[in-house]
């Protein structure tokens, strides 16, 4: 007998597998989905390993197979194990990342008859048992639900069990089918023979009354069969009424035809040939090409300023991958997964691109998953979770905008980072990885400097005209504006620039960063921000207590009456929303047509795209938006980008605040000057001397990096250490705090008793979002090395979550 190590879908299972015996009649493979007994339940499991010996003495048998084909490849199984061990997440949660969408569905119990023993005495059965047995013998296989209809709910269960116990029937289990509502489209066709239609056309023409009907009818006679109504309408310019008239005369008929859902509509996509590479692009491409040919794992960091043509390098690297008989996965930030992005890839690889999109319906995702697994696509493109697509023969992984925070899953376990998962997957599969960014994550750049990644640089913009320079950036000191008596949201410089652009019929983007807005206080005279004496992070304002709080160490002070630096009483809460900004712009520039873009307005499936299309079509002069406007838009009419306040990200109570500010400003600035008219950027701030703002204004990643990596080293922050966040949530604030303090004492003892040097505990302190969905949250930060290994064996009571390599401390 052989045994299987199974990851079981139960919260009790946590990070371990369970041993099950494989009954002789089942053929079990690694990666297969099976039913296993667990306590008194029957649960889903995935076979991780086969072995001749069980891990424990007593094992139970696998009940059955859910799907005959293994769902996970051996590499994916190893990746799942790594995710569970590294991010300290339940093993099945990690496995589930790679299962087909909708895998965890309701299961249906079926009863089937067994051959009756020849000597079986039917009179030993009671009337209901006999009835049930006859029913299943007649049908061959019956779901418990169907049996319930005949016998009633309770009886059906009891009687089914009795028949099974007496060996007259067996139970089996199947997943409920995914209910994919088929997509139906109306088709129009002739309802009569072609000759009869010709006569009708002649008659209509002779009467001269209904020329449209004649046109449509003639069109239908020219088709080989039924045509989609939308197509017929488009080609003949006839209305529905015309078609209905033909239908009522019995000459044509409508029918509903089921069509396959296509996440990509290729109808309007024109295949595009590769572009000629610039010399910088070419040398980047050549480096990737030789790595692909070698087929050994290698990671590249492609650092290219906005507009330098990174995508063309990706596209040619993808073509090279296909040439070698391999396939690829491309990750883009969710926000960038627009039809424009998809089109670019689809135009280069017609019919060979799959899209995994959280906005696809479950049915669409499921169909796409199956087709990917069957090897139908050269390229899978998607956001974070697309890294787990079952793409066979993986040769290349591209992660565009690798610094994006959305690559980290933060809201639920496993709290994985797609970039790190990709690096692990590449390790396991021998794939080449290309991380692309205009503003690489400081940690990635550090790794490239150290030689872990190979650095490829595209230092110049590729533009079809002369304007290859980056836009000019002006930094406006808001303190100077106040001194000059200007209290408005717009500095004199920004005001003039907006007026000018509108007068020239050009477009303007106004950028506002809302995250963390109004959480810090700043002196409007000298720009001073209150910081924690112990942690040097900005203090957050808590309205309920009217206090300033450090979210790392819980240090608290009262809000000062006047500025501790300049003594003026201009201490002010900052932060305005996009709505308020929209009002102000409308008031100040009544002639401008406005468009607002933030998460409040974009809830629907394509509304990002709708807003963009509108703006691109110049149906608005000013686009007001948050982070979203910063991403990869190519808008040639935009000549001015205004950053209303650069200080919000800067003053997040987090060591990544400077990096975040630099990235945002560079991205936003990259939106300007993409057309022949060139462009300029105006950044308004109370901290014009801050290195992140100065470097962004100069488009100078190197000087930003030098300063930032220095601070990281001094303050022992990543990449020089590792962080882990432990968060406790509880309906009672004081109890939550007490539990967090207990945990700190416990961890302190562990560190002391294991004699570990270099792990530091910070906190506990209230989390930046102190109250979430009615529960209070306190957090502890661990700083050191090998934190997964340290935390792994320690018990984590209910109410606690762990986040390895958190994106921020807030
Ligand atoms: Zn502090
Ligand atoms: Zn001051």
> Which tokens is 284 given?
């980047």
* The pLDDT value given to residue 728: 95
Closest ligand (CA of 554): 1
Least confident stretch, 233-237, 455-459, 485-489, 632-636? 632-636
Q: How far is the CA of 536 from the centre of ligand 1 (A)?
A: 7
Q: How far is the CA of 809 from the centre of ligand 1 (A)?
A: 12
Q: Which residue has the higher pLDDT, 353 or 121?
A: 353
Which pLDDT tens digit goes with each residue over 138-148?
888 888 888 88
The β-bridge partners of 485 are none
261 confidence band (pLDDT: 50, 70, 90): low
The β-bridge partners of 408 are 417
Q: How far is the CA of 558 from the centre of ligand 1 (A)?
A: 14
Q: How far is the CA of 653 from the centre of ligand 1 (A)?
A: 9
Closest ligand (CA of 765): 1
Which pLDDT tens digit goes with each residue over 678-730?
688 999 998 899 999 999 998 899 999 999 999 999 988 999 999 999 999 99
Q: How far is the CA of 556 from the centre of ligand 1 (A)?
A: 9
Q: How far is the CA of 562 from the centre of ligand 2 (A)?
A: 8
* The pLDDT value given to residue 675: 62
CA-wise closest residue to 464 among 640, 273, 634, 700? 634
Which pLDDT tens digit goes with each residue over 62-87?
998 888 889 999 999 999 999 999 99
Closest ligand (CA of 539): 1
Across residues 585-603, what is the average pLDDT?
80
Helix H or strand E segment including 61: strand 60-61
Across residues 118-139, what is the average pLDDT?
84
Closest ligand (CA of 528): 2
* The pLDDT value given to residue 579: 73
The predicted model scores a pTM of: 0.81
Task: Choose the most confident range, by mean pLDDT, from 154-163, 222-231, 491-500.
Answer: 491-500
Asked whether the predicted pLDDT for residue 630 surpasses 80, the reply is no
Q: How far is the CA of 524 from the centre of ligand 2 (A)?
A: 7
348 confidence band (pLDDT: 50, 70, 90): very high
CA-wise closest residue to 805 among 748, 746, 721? 721
Closest ligand (CA of 654): 1
Which pLDDT tens digit goes with each residue over 184-229?
788 999 998 888 988 888 888 888 878 889 899 999 988 888 888 9
Across residues 349-361, what is the average pLDDT?
85
* The pLDDT value given to residue 7: 95
Q: Which residue has the higher pLDDT, 788 or 113?
A: 788
N residues, the chain: 810
Q: How far is the CA of 530 from the centre of ligand 1 (A)?
A: 11
Closest ligand (CA of 571): 2
* The pLDDT value given to residue 466: 45
Closest ligand (CA of 529): 2
Q: How far is the CA of 492 from the centre of ligand 2 (A)?
A: 22
Closest ligand (CA of 686): 2
Closest ligand (CA of 560): 2
* The pLDDT value given to residue 469: 63
Across residues 533-547, what is the average pLDDT?
77
Q: How far is the CA of 566 from the centre of ligand 2 (A)?
A: 4
743 confidence band (pLDDT: 50, 70, 90): very high
Q: In 3-state terms, what secondary structure has residue 754?
A: coil
Q: How far is the CA of 683 from the centre of ligand 1 (A)?
A: 29
Rg (CA), the chain: 32
Angle at which helices 442-450 and 701-714 cross, to 10°: 90
Closest ligand (CA of 551): 1
Closest ligand (CA of 566): 2
> Which tokens is 385 given?
């979770």
Distance, in Å, from the CA atom of 437 to the CA atom of 306, rounded to the nearest integer, reads: 8
Distance, in Å, from the CA atom of 748 to the CA atom of 741, rounded to the nearest integer, reads: 11
What's the mean per-residue pLDDT of the chain?
87
Closest ligand (CA of 555): 1
CA-wise closest residue to 532 among 741, 715, 732? 715
Residues 6+ positions from 22 with CB-CB distance below 8 Å = 1, 2, 3, 4, 28, 50, 61, 62
> Which tokens is 514 given?
């809302």
Q: Which residue has the higher pLDDT, 771 or 490?
A: 490
Q: How far is the CA of 50 from the centre of ligand 2 (A)?
A: 68
Q: How far is the CA of 476 from the centre of ligand 2 (A)?
A: 18
Q: How far is the CA of 682 from the centre of ligand 2 (A)?
A: 24
Closest ligand (CA of 766): 1
676 confidence band (pLDDT: 50, 70, 90): low
Q: How far is the CA of 696 from the centre of ligand 2 (A)?
A: 25
Cα dihedral 586→587→592→596 (10° resolution): -10
Residue linked to tokens 């424990």? 56
Q: How far is the CA of 523 from the centre of ligand 2 (A)?
A: 5
Q: Which residue has the higher pLDDT, 178 or 50?
A: 50
Q: In 3-state terms, what secondary structure has residue 330?
A: strand
Q: How far is the CA of 569 from the centre of ligand 2 (A)?
A: 8
677 confidence band (pLDDT: 50, 70, 90): low
Q: What are the two backbone dihedrals, phi and then psi, of residue 149, each rounded to the nearest 5 degrees? A: -60, -35
Distance, in Å, from the CA atom of 366 to the CA atom of 372, rounded to the nearest integer, reads: 10
CB 387 within 8 Å of CB 422: yes
């Amino acid at each position: 007998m052989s045994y299987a190590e199974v990851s079981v879908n139960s919260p009790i299972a946590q990070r371990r597998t369970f041993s099950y015996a494989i009954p002789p009649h089942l053929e079990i493979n690694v990666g297969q989905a099976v039913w296993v007994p667990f306590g008194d339940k029957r649960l889903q499991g995935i076979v991780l390993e086969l072995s001749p010996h069980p891990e424990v003495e007593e094992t139970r048998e696998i009940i059955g197979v859910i799907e005959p084909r293994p769902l996970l490849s051996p590499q994916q199984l190893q990746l799942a194990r790594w995710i569970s061990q590294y991010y300290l997440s339940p093993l099945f949660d990690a496995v589930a990342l790679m299962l087909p969408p909708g895998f965890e569905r309701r299961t249906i119990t079926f009863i089937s008859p067994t051959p009756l023993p020849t000597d079986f005495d039917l009179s030993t059965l009671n009337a209901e048992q006999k009835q049930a047995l006859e029913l299943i013998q007649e049908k061959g296989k019956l779901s418990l639900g169907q049996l319930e209809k005949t016998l009633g709910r309770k009886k059906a269960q009891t009687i089914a069990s009795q028949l099974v116990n007496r060996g007259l029937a067996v139970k089996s289990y199947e997943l409920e089918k995914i209910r994919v509502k088929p997509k139906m489209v109306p088709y129009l066709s002739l309802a009569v023979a072609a000759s009869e239609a010709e006569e009708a056309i002649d008659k209509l023409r002779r009467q001269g009354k209904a020329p449209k009907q004649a046109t449509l009818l003639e069109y239908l006679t020219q088709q080989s069969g039924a045509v989609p109504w939308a197509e017929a309408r488009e080609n003949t310019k006839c209305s529905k009424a015309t078609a209905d008239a033909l239908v009522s005369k019995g000459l044509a008929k409508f029918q509903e035809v089921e069509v396959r859902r296509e996440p990509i509509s290729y109808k309007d996509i024109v295949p595009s040939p590769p572009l000629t590479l610039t010399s910088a692009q070419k040398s980047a491409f050549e480096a990737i090409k030789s790595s692909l040919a070698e087929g050994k794992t290698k990671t590249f960091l492609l650092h290219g300023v906005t507009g330098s043509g990174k995508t063309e390098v990706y596209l040619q690297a993808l073509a090279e991958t296909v040439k070698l008989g391999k396939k690829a996965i491309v990750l883009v930030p969710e926000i960038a997964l627009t039809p424009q992005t998809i089109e670019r890839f689809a135009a280069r690889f017609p019919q060979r691109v799959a899209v995994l999109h959280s906005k696809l319906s479950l049915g669409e995702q499921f169909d796409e998953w199956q087709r990917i697994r069957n090897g139908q696509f050269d390229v899978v493109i998607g956001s974070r979770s697309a890294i787990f697509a079952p793409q066979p023969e993986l040769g290349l992984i591209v992660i565009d905008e690798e610094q994006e925070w959305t690559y980290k899953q933060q809201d639920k376990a496993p709290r994985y980072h797609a970039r790190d998962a990709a690096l692990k997957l590449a390790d396991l599969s021998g794939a080449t990885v290309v991380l692309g960014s205009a503003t690489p994550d400081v940690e990635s750049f550090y790794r490239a400097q150290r030689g872990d990644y190979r650095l490829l640089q595209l230092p110049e913009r590729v533009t079809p005209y002369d304007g290859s320079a980056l836009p000019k950036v002006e930094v406006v000191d808001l303190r100077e504006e106040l001194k000059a008596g200007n209290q408005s949201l717009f500095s004199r410089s920004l005001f003039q620039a907006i007026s000018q652009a509108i007068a020239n019929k050009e477009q303007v983007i106004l950028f506002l960063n809302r995250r963390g807005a109004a959480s810090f206080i700043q002196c409007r005279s000298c720009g001073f921000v209150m910081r924690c004496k112990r942690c040097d992070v900005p203090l957050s304002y808590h309205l309920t207590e009217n206090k300033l709080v450090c979210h790392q160490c819980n240090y608290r002070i009262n809000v000062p009456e006047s500025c501790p630096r300049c003594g003026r009483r201009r201490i002010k809460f900052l932060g305005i929303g996009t709505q308020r900004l929209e009002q102000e712009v409308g008031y100040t520039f009544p002639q401008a047509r406005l468009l607002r873009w933030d998460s409040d307005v974009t809830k629907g499936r394509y509304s990002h795209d709708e807003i963009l299309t509108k703006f691109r079509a110049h149906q608005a002069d000013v686009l007001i938006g948050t982070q979203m406007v910063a991403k990869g838009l190519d808008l040639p009419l935009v000549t001015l980008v205004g950053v209303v306040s650069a200080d919000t990200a800067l003053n997040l109570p987090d060591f990544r605040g400077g990096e975040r500010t630099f990235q945002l400003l560079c991205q936003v600035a990259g939106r300007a000057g993409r057309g022949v008219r060139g462009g300029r950027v105006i950044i308004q701030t109370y901290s014009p001397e801050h290195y992140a703002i100065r470097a962004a204004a100069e488009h100078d990643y190197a000087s930003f990096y030098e300063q930032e990596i220095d601070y990281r080293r001094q303050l022992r922050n990543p990449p020089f250490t590792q962080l882990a966040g432990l968060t406790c949530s509880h309906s009672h604030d004081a109890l939550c705090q007490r539990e967090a303090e207990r945990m700190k004492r416990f961890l302190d003892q562990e560190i002391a008793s294991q004699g570990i040097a270099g792990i530091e505990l910070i906190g506990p302190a209230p989390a930046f979002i102190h109250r979430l969905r009615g529960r209070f949250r306190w957090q502890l930060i661990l700083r050191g090395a090998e934190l997964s290994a340290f935390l792994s064996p320690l018990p984590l009571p209910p109410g606690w979550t762990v986040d390895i390599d958190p994106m921020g401390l807030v």
